[in-house]
Structure 1
Amino acid sequence: MVVCDHVEGVVSSPQGPFYGALAHGYACGAHTPVHVSRPWNALDDPVHDYTGNRESLADSWGVTTEEDWSRQVEYLLGGMNVGPEVDVVLNVRRMVLRQQGHYDLPTWQNAVRKWARWQLRKEPAEVDEMVHLAGVVTRYESRFRTDGLLPHDGIVTSVFGYDFGRAVNMARWGFGGRFCDYPTAERIVLRAGELCRQHYTSWADFSAGYALGSVIRFDEEKYGHLYAAVRGPHRLLVADRTSPWWHVPFA
């Protein structure tokens, strides 16, 4: 089955930032607004978007109060929504690469099994799930290379970028739904950008991590519309000269 990306172009707000730390933070959350043709560098309007944001946050996130919203922001900035297990698995791979200079899937899975048993004291079912994750990551990375989300020898270093990118959008929707004021939303955007710089070295590196976090969280190896929802924005943000990734340095 062929799934189309359905992404028209990068939309910017003339009033929004185009350079500096705030623009960088907004650019870390660009996948979602690009996917729906909204400005990447602006918060939602608390007048025009109030009802829609409130309904969307309630339906998709269970957020109906300011406390609910604040809790979700904390989870996202803490990398707790997609969960830390995938990054543990990716970290074990980096350890194997440092020690041996190369790896294959059985070697990686064996290292994950040992690490989960002896370092993390995981239960057998949890160990099996982490070992399974290594295979899931391997298959997605292979598809990413085919679709241009990774170079031919590239690997994903972290999936925390997915939560950090969503934190930017939680700030966008929270301001639009009047769950926070503008300075609070801006601080979240800046913090998300700082966290992305701590975990990634480039926009391409970040985007591959964001995409892997998304598909592991929702796609279940179906490679359907949820996969296309990150592939299309990635391609546009990397290739379109109007993309913030062309003029906002990642570092």
Structure 2
Amino acid sequence: MATAGWGPPTDTERRRCEATARGDGDGQVAAIAGEDLYLAVPQEGQDPLPVHPDPTTGGKCLPVLTHGMLPPWQPQQFLDRVTVEELAQDWPNDTGQPAVNPGTPAAARLSATPDHRAAWLRIRAHFGVRPGGLLATHDGGPLHGPLAQGPACGAPLAVHHSVPWNELGTTFLDHATDAATLREQWSVTDPASRRQRLDQLLGGQFVPAGTQTALRERAGAGKGDADGCAPPQAEQAVLRAGARAAEVYDSWEEFAAGHALGRMPAYDNGRFGQQYAETLHIHRTLTQDPASPWRGLPLG
């Protein structure tokens, strides 16, 4: 399926499109072997793995989405995060084929016979899990201007998890994990506490135990669907974070140093251990990689 003006939003979809174009079935699986994949959470009364008509072929399929192709935010829309390994192990024999990103230019169907699923496991074992510490960009997200500057403040967290730094979408990791992070690290359990905590963070008035006060606009945007933060409110939170950073810091180099130093006391009881090394890697990635928003975006 080709659409004029469309391009793969991330490297994952780009690799899948390339494999599909050359008719490489194993390459299609390899492109997602280590990636997070997403299934729609069944509504009440639906089967655990509800199948749907394939919009391309008309047959049955189970929609499987990559992170870059998640749908726009909608109230009460929830997604489960799964892996190729989990799909291979749990796939019922009487279910239709998985359709990756159906109805989009990045669509592809995977054969799901027992032999094919065994091949998925072998490919997964060969490529392993996508490591953390990678800089990723969503080509459909904000790349310039104030709306990009805010997410750039949260780029260290995005690089840590190897998710696009500029995606203000449906979910950050997955709904359960995002909600747990907000609850455990930021005491955010509902829209009111989210707004209160965001105001405190941007005002420098809240220091959670064992963490730091870097501007983390994702506390306002990362789990918007469960906490009532619709896209307009999420964008406002991001704009506020970027503007506040520009008031405090004169450059991304200053912001980077402040972020790195602010994290040190919370790590390894003050010792320079693994978490220090991870922070140093993220710092170097964002200050040195030509694709980094800290290299291409002005601060302020």
Which of structure 1's runs of 4+ aligned residues deviate more than 4 A? none
Q: Does 1:190 align with 2:235?
A: no
Q: Does 1:82 align with 2:132?
A: no
Measured after TM superposition, the shift of residue 198 of structure 1 is 1.0
CA contact (8 A) 1:237 1:244 kept: yes
C-alpha separation between the residues in 2 aligned to 1:192 and 1:176?
20
After superposition, the Cα gap between the structure-2 partners of 1:176 and 1:14, relative to the gap in structure 1 and judged at 3 Å, is farther
Q: Is the strand fraction higher in 1 or 2?
A: 2
| Alignment RMSD (CA, Å) | 2.4
Measured after TM superposition, the shift of residue 242 of structure 1 is 1.2
Q: Corresponding residue for 1:3? A: none
Q: Could you list the runs of 5+ residues in structure 2 that have no partner in the other structure?
A: 1-130
C-alpha separation between the residues in 2 aligned to 1:27 and 1:13?
12
After superposition, the Cα gap between the structure-2 partners of 1:34 and 1:47, relative to the gap in structure 1 and judged at 3 Å, is closer
SS of residue in 1 equivalent to 2:222? helix
C-alpha separation between the residues in 2 aligned to 1:45 and 1:62?
21
Measured after TM superposition, the shift of residue 8 of structure 1 is 4.1
What is the identity, as a one-letter code, of the residue corresponding to 1:62?
S
Measured after TM superposition, the shift of residue 24 of structure 1 is 1.0
Question: How many residues of Structure 1 are paired with residues of Structure 2 in the alignment?
Answer: 167
C-alpha separation between the residues in 2 aligned to 1:236 and 1:180?
30
C-alpha separation between the residues in 2 aligned to 1:47 and 1:178?
13
C-alpha separation between the residues in 2 aligned to 1:73 and 1:218?
24
Measured after TM superposition, the shift of residue 171 of structure 1 is 2.1
Measured after TM superposition, the shift of residue 179 of structure 1 is 3.3
Q: Corresponding residue for 2:151? A: 26
**Deviation readout 1:12-47 (Å, 9 max, x if unpaired):** 112101111111111111110111101100124159
C-alpha separation between the residues in 1 aligned to 2:173 and 2:295?
30
SS of residue in 2 equivalent to 1:165? coil
CA contact (8 A) 1:81 1:163 kept: yes
- What TM-score does the superposition give when structure 2 sets the normalisation length? 0.51
After superposition, the Cα gap between the structure-2 partners of 1:244 and 1:236, relative to the gap in structure 1 and judged at 3 Å, is same
After superposition, the Cα gap between the structure-2 partners of 1:75 and 1:47, relative to the gap in structure 1 and judged at 3 Å, is closer
Matched-pair identity in %: 35
**Deviation readout 1:147-204 (Å, 9 max, x if unpaired):** xxxxxxxxxxxxxxx63522x1212323153331111111111111111111111111
CA contact (8 A) 1:49 1:176 kept: no
What is the identity, as a one-letter code, of the residue corresponding to 2:215?
G
SS of residue in 1 equivalent to 2:223? helix
Q: Corresponding residue for 2:138? A: 13
Q: Corresponding residue for 2:284? A: 235
**Deviation readout 1:204-227 (Å, 9 max, x if unpaired):** 111111112222355542222332
Q: Which has the higher contact order (CA 8 A, sep 6+)?
A: 1
1:165 to 212, 215, 220: 215
C-alpha separation between the residues in 1 aligned to 2:173 and 2:157?
19
Please list, as runs of the form range in 1=range in 2, the aligned pairs for 1:1-251 lying within 5 A after superposition.
Answer: 7-46=132-171, 49-82=174-207, 163-166=213-216, 168-218=217-267, 220-251=269-300
C-alpha separation between the residues in 2 aligned to 1:29 and 1:47?
12
Q: Is the helix fraction higher in 1 or 2?
A: 1
